[in-house]
Structure 1
Amino acid sequence: MKKWGRRTFARSVIAAAAVVAAGALAALSGLGQLANAAEPKQGGTLTWIVTPEPSSILPLTTTAGGNTELGPKIVEGLLTYDFNLNPKPLLATSWSISKDGLQYRFNLRRGVKWHDGKDFTSADVAFSILTLKTVHPRGRATFANVTEVQTPDPLTAIIVLSKPSPTLLTALAGAESPIVPKHLYDKTDILNSKYNSAPVGTGPFIFKEFVKGSHIVLERNPNYWDKPKPYLDKIIVRFIPDALARAAALESGSADLAGQAIPLSDVTRFSKLPKINVDTTNWAYIGLQQQLYFNLDTPVLQKLEVRRAISQAIDVNALNKVVWYGYGKVSASVIGTLNSKYHNPDIKYFPYNPKEAEAALDAAGLKRGADGIRFRLRLLYNPFQERRAADFVRQSLSRIGIDANIENYDFGTYVTKAYTERAFDLTLEALANVFDPTVGVQRVFWSKNFKVGLPFSNAPHYVNPEADRLLEAASVEVDETRRRQLFLDFQKVVHDDIPSIEFGANPSITIAAKKVKNYAPTAEGLRGSFAELYFD
């Protein structure tokens, strides 16, 4: 066994992995994460609106927002994180890192039970990490250098790497790297497992019911290891497709909590309601980012001059004002301004200039026809994006003679169309930067992460050996100065290739009844466990 140098190397790894979220925290309303001075009260049923409705619950094979919010109430990660992204114990009570950075040793919590009564052990950790490496869109990069997970005893798991991983210690939250029961998943079809929608976990709440199109019911785990938590008796998750109906439910008090649920036009009015808090925290672990991706398998979009013309026809600053009501924070680079440690401020939008865009399309031989149309494109959008954003893009492109036909799908169908059938030319996505570019950004622009059927991966089918080299080097670089430079160079390469038009950080709006306390005491925000949530 190698000699363990816990503190020194751990500090360097944490520093390399942490997202500097000062900009986001400046907007903090201080409502969800600060513990109330009063003693938490037991009991009550939380009615929580989650939108859009996910096709499953666990964030094991997908990084869909609904899954990453729902899953951690039932399953847990090895660690959780404070607002500076420092790791805190969860299923792991302590950890150490070898001096060469190639072995991470986790001491696991005693006495933890799966909801079906089986013991939680290191075998579950090993199985989960190796499964995430294969089936999780971001886990393919996070755990790319994992060679094995040793289990010398039931309460010790050792992750062995072929190369250092400066992001690994920050990637172990339940929303990102859920630990699942080996005895229920082993030697099964994991992608289609029934337990993805009816999960068995170790977390504070037990799954009871999932009625598609309606609701999910979770009940208090009476045998939770962290007693007296959880404080709630039950969580009812409601799916309400219409934004006005969601707003009405929150305003009337028939729903207690929701993220990204109300029309942005209602934010000012809601902030004046006496029984409601409006929280604008952009959670450090999530790092919101939205964008438009080009399908680089579409022949007309393989031409760089066409992609540049399209980018010059879309005024992102105007989109922020019109679609996001000015609540967003635009970023021309794939690593947004919220991730300021690695953001390249030299990356600027191509100048908004529809006339220049038209001239470029003419020069490319794509002249307007008798009907005024140059060519037609299929425009999809992830329901996590505003439909109004799709309308904005469509109108922008129509001005330069491109007919972008909007195709509207529910979330599950959208994922199939975009990532399995690849039946799109442009798609508006909501792929967050999360806590580190190796995890949140690499999945999109790393050529080795293009896999038909893998959601939220390399949607453009972008391939550039230099981008791959820079991403792979940054993923193992523990020297912070060198790592930052690799990411700065990477952003320039991608910007010049134009596989996407980045919009930046979309507004983060959480609506909570004032009686709801401690709904987000960690950097995971609503993607935490709700174990500490209680009613005042």
Structure 2
Amino acid sequence: MTYFKSILSAALLSATALTAPAAFADGGTLVIASTQVPRHLNGSVQSGIATAIPSTQIFASPLRYDENWEPQPYLAESWDVADDGMSVTLNLVKGATFHDGEPVEAEDVAFSIMNTKNNHPFQSMFAPVDTIDTPDAHTVVINLSKPHPALLLALSPALAPVLPKHIYDDGQDPKSHPANSAPIGSGPFMLEEFTPGEAVILKKNPNFFIDGRPMLDEIIIRIIKDPSALLIAMENQEADMYPFMAGSQEIRRLEKAEHLGVTSDGYAAVGPINWLAFNTKSEKLSDPKVRQAIAYAVDRDFITKALHRGVSSPQRGPIIEGSPFFDESIPAYDVNLDKANALMAEAGFGDGMDLTVDYIPGPKEQQQSVAEYLKSQLKKIGINVTVRAAPDFPTWAGRVSSYDFELTMDVVFNWGDPVIGVHRTYLSDNIREGVIWSNTQQYSNAKVDELLNMAAVELDPAKRAALYAEFQQLVATDLPVYWINALPYHTAYDKRLQNVPVGIWGSMHPMDTVHWGE
């Protein structure tokens, strides 16, 4: 019997099985409940919540970030950005080791950054990285082809795990490497067992390079696909933390549990936006006037206040409204049916049209419910909408990434800096057939390309903000996407937990300081 089976029997996997850990000032077990199913645990080649939560516990990264967006030492005890912005030098801590006892050295960091650059879905994240020098075992010099103001943020735990070169540099495809499911890192926790679809069990790394950490003995990430069972597990103290909770019924229900705290803190860098995307190459949707008409017909306030029960907030543009780069003056497209009908007539569709809307299967409240709302609302401007379901996520992703859609609901993250999470949707050179969460709208505007490419290398924050403001005004007119709301991510947690991760990356951050208190 495997370790997992021995401590979590079939009964334990039911909604009422786990016994909550005793309250310890130090040590103990943290049970994280999640509906997300990781394919593997290597965040260097895979984005997303499911992978990032365990990956950031197993792998350390060069830097980590506090709740004020300030970089903090991690594997790099210090760093220096060249005056011209063309290089960054990392000075690594001494004495850090991987879980197999091998030292963490500059070659590992250099290998990992290039591995992420070549294999991660976010191509813009390390695109300016040209070469990496390792003059000694504890010095890494990242040489850039152009300034890259997002680089330090890209060195965060969720985006830049440091892999052991002696394991991964063996000629195998990094995306399917067997070590992805049995990873060895240098983070605060070591993989004990990964049972796909059931649980990830992590044990304390006794040789972690930060003294006194981690404070927990064990983290169990328990996969509970049934949302009702997950809520019961939280209410019955069978699970201790539920991050990335977005359903209004879930949030309101767990807020009533006396032993639980519920917070929306911890998602500032995630920047999750729920939106309606247009296939701009469709004959029906190629005219921005039609897209604007649809925007004027949709009532954001009804969606956020009625459909989402007031837990989500309106989102007016491509950059999350909590970002310093968000432009407050962006046109909001508040509901105006007269204007919408006039725009339809100007575009030559005064007699209406038929459209199909897709949605991501699973998160009904944010996706399917909004799609069904569109069916009734757009009828008011002569658009007959057919809501097209997909049996699973791969089917939806295949349709959208191959441009087999007219309208689709979607959820896309900002990932902290616009270079990482925003540019990919609007740059014309990122129209990549078969790649989901690229420019699947097939949107192309040379001026937008110019502005984004300038903002990607501008080191002056004020000038950068001005470039992003101009970009936002342009895409608000072209409207390849109609932005609806920010996802209302919340974390529910046992109130006895101390140092619950509420920094900019939330639970996609090392939990080495999390501990139990009386």
TM > 0.5 between the two?
yes
CA distance in 1, matches of 2:419, 2:259: 41
What is the CA distance between 1:304 and its match in structure 2? 2.2
Alignment of 1:212 with 2:202, yes or no, is no
CA distance in 1, matches of 2:80, 2:131: 17
2:389 to 407, 412, 435: 407
CA distance in 1, matches of 2:312, 2:502: 23
**AA matched with 2:100:** D
Q: Superposed, which structure 2 residues align to 1:266-285 within 5 Å?
A: 266-285=250-269
**AA matched with 1:51:** T
1:5-30 CA-partner distances (Å, limit 9, x unpaired)? xxxxxxxxxxxxxxxxxxxxxxxxxx
225 and 413 in structure 1: CA distance in 2 versus 1, 3 angstrom threshold:
farther
Give the structure 2 partner of residue 200 of structure 1.
184
CA distance in 2, matches of 1:431, 1:117: 38
CA distance in 2, matches of 1:199, 1:424: 38
Give the structure 2 partner of residue 25 of structure 1.
none
CA distance in 1, matches of 2:333, 2:46: 33
1:476-505 CA-partner distances (Å, limit 9, x unpaired)? 111222211101000011111111011232
**AA matched with 1:381:** I
CA distance in 1, matches of 2:149, 2:486: 24
TM-align CA RMSD: 2.5
1:157 to 132, 135, 140: 140
535 and 439 in structure 1: CA distance in 2 versus 1, 3 angstrom threshold:
same
1:469 to 445, 450, 454: 450
SS in 2 for 1:195: helix
214 and 414 in structure 1: CA distance in 2 versus 1, 3 angstrom threshold:
farther
1:323-344 CA-partner distances (Å, limit 9, x unpaired)? 32222221221113211x2211
Q: Is the 8 A contact 1:164 1:478 kept in 2?
A: yes
What is the CA distance between 1:76 and its match in structure 2? 1.9
144 and 285 in structure 1: CA distance in 2 versus 1, 3 angstrom threshold:
same
CA distance in 2, matches of 1:411, 1:211: 21
Give the structure 2 partner of residue 141 of structure 1.
124
CA distance in 2, matches of 1:398, 1:43: 58
Q: Is the 8 A contact 1:133 1:142 kept in 2?
A: yes
Q: Superposed, which structure 2 residues align to 1:248-263 within 5 Å?
A: 248-261=232-245, 263=247
CA distance in 1, matches of 2:320, 2:95: 42
**AA matched with 2:330:** I
Alignment of 1:185 with 2:168, yes or no, is yes
CA distance in 2, matches of 1:423, 1:251: 42
What is the CA distance between 1:158 and its match in structure 2? 0.3
Worse-superposed segment, 263-272 or 409-418? 409-418
**AA matched with 2:203:** E
What is the CA distance between 1:347 and its match in structure 2? 1.1
Q: Is the 8 A contact 2:326 2:469 kept in 1?
A: yes
Give the structure 1 partner of residue 420 of structure 2.
439
1:379 to 355, 358, 380: 358
Q: Superposed, which structure 2 residues align to 1:218-297 within 5 Å?
A: 218-261=202-245, 263-297=247-281
Worse-superposed segment, 298-307 or 121-130? 298-307
CA distance in 1, matches of 2:405, 2:293: 19
263 and 523 in structure 1: CA distance in 2 versus 1, 3 angstrom threshold:
closer
Give the structure 2 partner of residue 111 of structure 1.
95
1:329 to 272, 288, 313: 313
Alignment of 1:487 with 2:471, yes or no, is no
What is the CA distance between 1:363 and its match in structure 2? 5.7
Worse-superposed segment, 434-443 or 408-417? 408-417
For structure 2, which runs of at least 5 residues remain unmatched after alignment? 1-22
SS in 1 for 2:225: coil
Alignment of 1:533 with 2:511, yes or no, is no
Q: Is the 8 A contact 2:358 2:396 kept in 1?
A: no
54 and 354 in structure 1: CA distance in 2 versus 1, 3 angstrom threshold:
farther
**AA matched with 1:173:** S
Give the structure 1 partner of residue 15 of structure 2.
none
492 and 398 in structure 1: CA distance in 2 versus 1, 3 angstrom threshold:
same
SS in 2 for 1:302: coil
Q: Is the 8 A contact 2:81 2:88 kept in 1?
A: yes
What is the CA distance between 1:531 and its match in structure 2? 1.2
Q: Is the 8 A contact 2:61 2:74 kept in 1?
A: yes
CA distance in 2, matches of 1:523, 1:356: 39
CA distance in 2, matches of 1:359, 1:240: 49
CA distance in 1, matches of 2:299, 2:108: 49
Instruction: Report the TM-score, using the length of structure 2 for normalisation.
Output: 0.87
CA distance in 2, matches of 1:191, 1:263: 32
Instruction: Report the TM-score, using the length of structure 1 for normalisation.
Output: 0.85
Q: Is the 8 A contact 1:382 1:427 kept in 2?
A: no
SS in 2 for 1:289: strand
Q: Superposed, which structure 2 residues align to 1:306-317 within 5 Å?
A: 306-317=290-301
Q: Superposed, which structure 2 residues align to 1:394-433 within 5 Å?
A: 394-399=375-380, 400-419=382-401, 421-433=402-414
Q: Is the 8 A contact 2:54 2:200 kept in 1?
A: no
What is the CA distance between 1:411 and its match in structure 2? 4.2
What is the CA distance between 1:141 and its match in structure 2? 1.7
Identity %: 31
**AA matched with 1:163:** K
**AA matched with 2:385:** D
2:110 to 126, 151, 160: 126
**AA matched with 1:402:** N
CA distance in 1, matches of 2:274, 2:260: 27
